[in-house]
Amino acid sequence: MSIAMLSAISLICIDAAAAVAPLVAGPPVAAPSVVAPLAAAVQAAADTQLTTPPADEIDRVILAPATEPAPAAAAEEDYGGPLAFDGESDAAVAQHFVDYLEQTTTLTGDFTQIAPSGAISTGRIYLRRPGFLRFEYDPPDPLLIVANGGLVYVYDDALETTDSYPLRKTPLKFLLSKKLNFDETSVVGVDRGVNNVAITLASKKDDTEGELTIIVKAPEMTLIRWIVRDLQGGITVVTLDNVVAGERLANRLFRPPDAGGAFLKN
């Protein structure tokens, strides 16, 4: 398996073993139920067995820019003021995030991805909620990732193969769902910086591989970064730059790549 493919698998948090062995299809997934109160979801985080990345690790990623590390003095300045949404409960902060996410229709930008191996990739992202996502990797990475119709397609131009994964088994489902269903989703952590908020989400079921920490600017609530943490503790960081929201995106951007590889349905 190529390094590029492993990098893509780490992004969508699919077990690498699954990429070389198609699995048997499972039963249909039931329709999501009505969203449970968010405060209860935040309170339930204390009882979950899943863990967020260490607090100092999250703080470091929240404050780090996309390209160069900030000077120490600037970091100290950032820590000097009150935290975002000072005086509000974690449940209230999480609700701000949910409101922002569910009101987001489209988003485009440049991305920088750091895989668990330390490999760095760049490219362009196109997101249309609910359900659609496109990662165009810059050369020399030969990859294209498209989410459409409940599936995530990974196209490797070098191998001329397309592998397919169920979106519901990846943490990307939290970004692309029309509404966050708190009967099925746990708010594992709410962490605040001076100008940023990090919300960590995980599935209450065993069908999602890992956790997703979404980092937004505060108080304007603009998506700037997310962190995928797999079940083995590997961390993939995706940072966004030059983000534009609300633009009309053509359907052709989300057309699935040509078939030719494994279809991993479950």
pLDDT of amino acid 33: 30
Distance, in Å, from the CA atom of 138 to the CA atom of 4, rounded to the nearest integer, reads 11
pLDDT of amino acid 58: 42
- Consecutive H or E run containing 114: strand 106-114
pLDDT of amino acid 153: 94
**Quick one: 245 exposed, middle or buried, by C-beta within 10 A (0-12, 13-18, 19+)?**
middle
ω before 219 within 30° of 0 (cis)? Answer: yes
In the chain, domain spans: 3-13+35-254
Determine how β-strand 106-114 pairs with β-strand 120-128: antiparallel
Contact 214, 222 (CB under 8 A): no
Q: Is 150 left (phi over 0), alpha (psi -120 to 50) or beta?
A: left
- Tell me the chain's radius of gyration from C-alpha atoms: 18
Q: What is the residue-level pLDDT of the chain in tens, covering all 266 positions? A: 445 555 555 566 554 433 332 222 233 333 223 233 344 444 444 343 333 444 444 444 444 444 433 333 333 344 567 899 999 999 999 999 999 999 999 999 999 999 999 999 999 999 999 999 999 999 999 999 999 989 999 999 998 899 999 998 888 899 999 998 888 888 999 999 999 999 999 988 766 668 899 999 999 899 999 999 888 888 999 999 999 999 999 999 999 987 554 444 43
Which of 2.60.40.150, 3.40.50.300, 2.50.20.10, 3.40.605.10 would CATH assign to domain 3-13+35-254?
2.50.20.10
ω before 140 within 30° of 0 (cis)? Answer: yes
